[in-house]
Structure formats: structure tokens, C-alpha cells
Amino acid sequence: MVELIQFFAYIPLLGFAMSVLQKKKHEKSLAAILIATAGAQFLLLSYMLFHWVKAGIPNLDIRQFTVLDTPQFDFYIDFYFDKTTAVFLLVGTILTLLVSIFSKYYIHREAGYKRYFNNIQLFFFGFSLLVVSGNFETFFIGWEMVGISSFLLISFYRDRYLPVKNAMKVVSLYRLGDVFLILAMWFNHHLWHSNISFSQLNDLATVASKINDHYILALMIGLALFLGASVKSAIFPFSSWVSRAMEGPSSSSAIFYGSLSIHLGIFLLLRTYPFWEQLTIVKTVIIVFGVITCISSNTIASTQPAVKTKIAYASITQIGLIAIELALGWHNLALLHFAGNAFLRAYQILVSPSVLGYLIHNQLFHFTPRKEGLPNRLINTIYMLSIKEYNMDLAHYHYLWKPFKRFGNLLGKLNQKFALLIVFILFVWGIYLDINTSTFSEWVLDFFAIIYSILSLLFILSSFSERASGKNAWNKVMVAHLFITLSISVNSHIPYRYLFLYLGFIAFFGILGLLSLINLEKTEKDISLNQYHGNSYEYSGAAVVFLIACLGLVGFPISPLYVGLDLLLTYIESHQYFLIGFTALSLLFIEIALLRIYTRLFCGQHKKTHHPIAYKSS
């Protein structure tokens, strides 16, 4: 029975591969592949559940294969099956099957029909892999796939302004959640001195011993896990991205932000519960923010004019309640609550057009004025806060993104030639340090490791605010990768074979993206980032190649760079908070900077007026 677990990842992977290879014009085949994939998954799961329940509902764990094994790092793929896996996988499979049947007709004759089904297949693979994952490394692969498929589906109508802009807003916050999860993985590595599997977390005596011996480190892990889960499940103050995510087709909104993707933060908390249940501070934080989420999302849902936004915030209200149930230890209730909320919200979004028509008709003929209750001033205050979504979006911009963008703009005003000379001298000095680490004291190496991590962040922020040329922005990210590598290698001398593995894939994806930009510049002459160019309309193949290069350079799990990045992070010691802090900020802005280049050059309204143009108001 344990051997069947792996097929819950392999069936969606096979479906995704078949969908990618299918031709655009074969609509029936594209839909049939997704329906068959979800159907086969459901049949296998039904068979598995029958024998699993018959065997007494045991927790099953199977280690698949080792990707990379070093003295400090063991990267392996692991699968795990328990009660939480069973519920999430069953709900996910049924909803994917239903939405795929609905989408077959709903997306009929859309220009991006193949693109839509490819992205749903990618999401289904990522979701299934995440749910059956047995360790953090496998979990993070599925987590990233869900994130990028979400970005691609929000920007499905990529010839319009708002879908593309809102997709960037959502993926920026998603990336923040990714970084919190990366930090949790890094803290975990130093707590356990190995890559721990989820089945090991069930050894409560060992977990309690580790927490007692390293309480502060354990607390940092618990808070990092909660913050990562909060972003993914839109817990306050990260709730506002969900309404922006509704720019995609209603069918994808139903499966993502109504039912499945929105609950993955809850799944992360469920999966790691044996660890943080012994941390009272973390449980208190979860309950407090769960209550705030319930209250704020409920009032927002009551005031929003858009039906999809109302449903999204109604779903978040329930997620706040589920988080409270988790912190109180009511797992069975939380799983039942998840299943009910997922099915209800998916149904509501899919039928929202017809329901909206009925409600408008009912309001016209049966409207009843509100009775007086709370003081008018208080009611009006809550109403204004709710209609503005408690200014969460504005707060994210002013306090999270704007300071970094301003700093990046200041960097662009420096004397370029002098600054590049200093950077080149520091880079050469870093190589010398790396070769001769034994001749320098530890504090010297620590100091320059931090300097190089700061330099990497400065180059990325400069790329993040670059407007003159997409090529310049791309090259700055390449240089930043070199400084990230140099900072970690100077800090703790890494065997050269691992460095060359990491740098080799940076070079491959970097050159691939640079060649795409050079070819685009030859034909279009203009690759500035001052506006959206919409080049995917004429160069759809180039858009795909450039997106792959971006994801590769980010360290997306499609590339071995992901393994190399995990490997490099293990060489940062647990007391080096400045180094991991600047490195984490670099990882946060790398993806945002690269996807910004992609969206500006290939998405948005087409700059040529002889093509159909969707204006901002649309």
C-alpha cells in the first residue's frame, strides 16, 4: 500500500507533460487530459483509502530517492500519507475534476485555452506533490509550483493592465511567504543538524527535548512557519491580495482562492503542528491573528461591491476560524471545516453570475432598511475601514515595498563607473579571500561575507527599480547571484564542485534569458521597463523561453539551481543573523525583479496600435 503514495505525484506530472505536448487547436484533447488525470487520481485514491482504512489508518512514509548527499546536506524526495493528507488530497482531486469539466466549456474558444489547461495541470501537480510531501524540501517544490501557476492564471488575460499588475502584487506577497518558509527550513537544519522528515516530528519526546534545549531557535521556527502560512492563506494583515487575485477566470479563482490554494497555509500549520503545539507563544499568536482575521474579513465581505471579492473574504473569515481550531488542537473539526469551506466557496464562485442576478432582483423588490444598532460614528468608521479593506494594500506598499524601491532609485543616481570599479575590486578581493581562507581570521571572513551579501542585495534592488533597459536589470540580477555565492563561500569554504554546479546553472539560465532579450531588442528596438510592451502577442515562444529563464534564475524547482541554493544556505551558521537576513532579502527581491522584467516586456497592453488594445479601465 505504501508504494501507491508516489503515484499521487506521478499521475499529475504525467498529465502536465501530456498537456504541454498537446497542440493549441485540440481543445477537446486538452480538456480530456485534465479530466482523465483528475479521474485517474480519484480512482487510485479511492482504492488507497479503502485499504488504508481497513489497515487501521496508519501513518505511511516512503523515501523515494536522494538528489544530493553531502556531509552537511542530504536532499531527498520523501512522501508521507496520514489523515491530513487523505482529506486534502480527496477534496483537491474532486474539486479539480469538477472544475476541469466546468472549464472545458467555460474557457471554450479563449485565445489562451491551452495555456489555461497547462497552468491548471501544473497547479494540480504542485498541489498533489505538496500534500503528499514527507519533508520540507519536497513540500517546498509543490509550494513554489502552486505559487507560479497562481501568478500565471491571475495574469491569464495578459493583454490587459489590471490582471498583470495584480498578478505582480500577489506574487510579491507570495514570495514573502516563500522566504519565511526558507528561513524556517534554515532554522530547522540548525536545530536538528539534518534534513528532518514530517514523520520524525511525530516523535513528541525528541521534539520536546530539542525545544527545551534550543527554545529561542524553536520559537523562530514556529513564528517563521506561521508567517509563511499567513501569507499563503491570507491571514491578517496579508488578506488584501485575495481580491487582487480574482482577476483570473472564475473557474481558476474557484479552485485557487475559493477552495484549495487559499487553504495551503492551514495545511502547513497542520503538518507542522507536533512541533509548534509545545510553543505557547506561537499558539497565542495564531489565535489572536485568527480572531482579527475573522472580524476584519467578515466586515470587508459585508461591504464589498464585487461578488467574487465578497466570496473571497467570506472564505478568509472561515480560515481565521480554522486557524483558531488548529491552535486549540481540534484537528478533526479543522479538517471538516476545511472540506466544507472549500466545496462551498468553489460552488459559490462558479454560480456567482446567476446568483448575483437573483440577489439584485430580490433586493429591488424586498429591500429592508437596516435597524439602528451601534452608534452611527462607529458604524461609519467600520464601514469606511471595510470598504478600503483596512488599508492593508496601502500599508504593504508604503512600509514593505516603497522603502526598498526608493533605495534602489538612489543607487541608480550614483556615479556608475566609480561604483562599478569599487565593486570589481571587491569581487576580485573576494575570490582571493575564498582561495586563501586559512590565512585570514574568522572575523575578517565574517565581515566580508556580510559585505558581499549587502552588495548582492544592492544589485537586486537596483534591478528592481531599473527602468532604462530590461537587459541592464537582467545583468544586475546575474551579478547579484555571483555575490550571493561569494558571500556564502567566503563565510564557509564550500567545495568547488558544488560552487561550479551552482554557478554553471546560473550561467545557463542567465545566458538563455540574455539571448532572449538581445533578440527582442534587435526586432523591437525598445526593451525599456517604463511601460508594458505586450510582446507575448507577437512573440509567444520567446515569452515562454524568457519565463523559463526567469524561473531558472530564481531557483524554481524546475532547475537544479533549487538544490544548489538549499545547499548554499546550509553553510550559513545559526548565529549569523545578519548574513541570513541580507541573503533572505536578496532571495525575496530576485523573483520580484525578474518577473517584473517578464511582465513589463511580454505582458500588458500591446504598444502597437494596430493590435487590439485593452485599456486600463477594462
DSSP structure string for 436-467: TGGGS-HHHHHHHHHHHHHHHHHHHHHHHT--
Instruction: Output the CA–CA distances (angstroms, integers) from residue 415 to 420, 456, 462, in the order listed.
Output: 9, 18, 13
Percent of residues, the chain, with pLDDT higher than 70: 92
Q: What percent of the chain has pLDDT over 90?
A: 24
C-alpha cell at 509: 539560465
| Residue keyed to cell 556580510 | 450
pLDDT at 364: 57
pLDDT digits (tens, 9 = 90+) for 115-143: 889 999 999 999 999 999 988 888 988 99
The answer to whether 157 and 163 have CB atoms below 8 angstroms apart is yes
Closest CA to 3 of 44, 53, 50: 44
Q: Which three cell numbers stand for residue 123?
A: 497547479
Instruction: Tell me the pTM.
Output: 0.90
In the prediction, which pLDDT does 353 show? 67
Cα dihedral sign, 177-182-183-188? positive
Task: Give the alpha-carbon dihedral of 71, 569, 453, 411, to 10 degrees.
Answer: 150
Task: Count CB atoms within 10 A of the CB of residue 481.
Answer: 26
With beta carbons less than 8 A apart as the criterion, state whether 268 and 225 touch: yes
CA angle 61, 276, 174 (to 5 degrees): 85
Residues 608, 526: contact at Cβ < 8 Å? no
- What is the Cα–Cα distance from 116 to 109, expressed in whole angstroms? 12
Q: Between vectors from CA 296 to CA 293 and to CA 300, what angle results, nearest 5°? A: 130
pLDDT at 268: 94
Residue from 174, 393, 363 nearest 300 by CA: 393
Query: Residues 491-545: pLDDT tens digits?
Result: 777 777 777 777 888 888 999 999 999 999 898 888 888 888 888 888 888 899 9
Domain ranges for the chain, please list them: 2-364, 414-602
Say which residue, 80 or 368, is predicted with more confidence: 80
d(CA 390, CA 94): 35
Enter the C-alpha cell of residue 125.
501537480
> Which run of H or of E encompasses 320?
helix 307-327
Alpha carbon distance 77, 441 (integer Å): 38
Q: What pLDDT score does 609 carry?
A: 67
Is residue 328 packed enough to be buried (19+ CB in 10 Å), middle (13-18) or exposed (0-12)? middle
Cα 603 to Cα 382: distance, rounded to the nearest angstrom: 37
| Residue (of 3, 132, 146, 7) closest to 80 by Cα position | 132
Pseudo-torsion of CA 113, 265, 172, 599, nearest 10°?
A: -10
Cell of 338: 476545511
pLDDT band at 86 (very low <50, low <70, confident <90, very high): very high
Beta bridge partners of 135: 197
Has residue 610 got a pLDDT over 70? no
Sign of CA dihedral 373, 378, 380, 385: negative
CA distance 76 to 68: 7
Q: Beta strand pairing status for 74-81 and 60-69?
A: antiparallel
Number of H helices, E strands in the chain: 26, 2
Q: Are 506 and 559 in contact (CB under 8 A)?
A: no
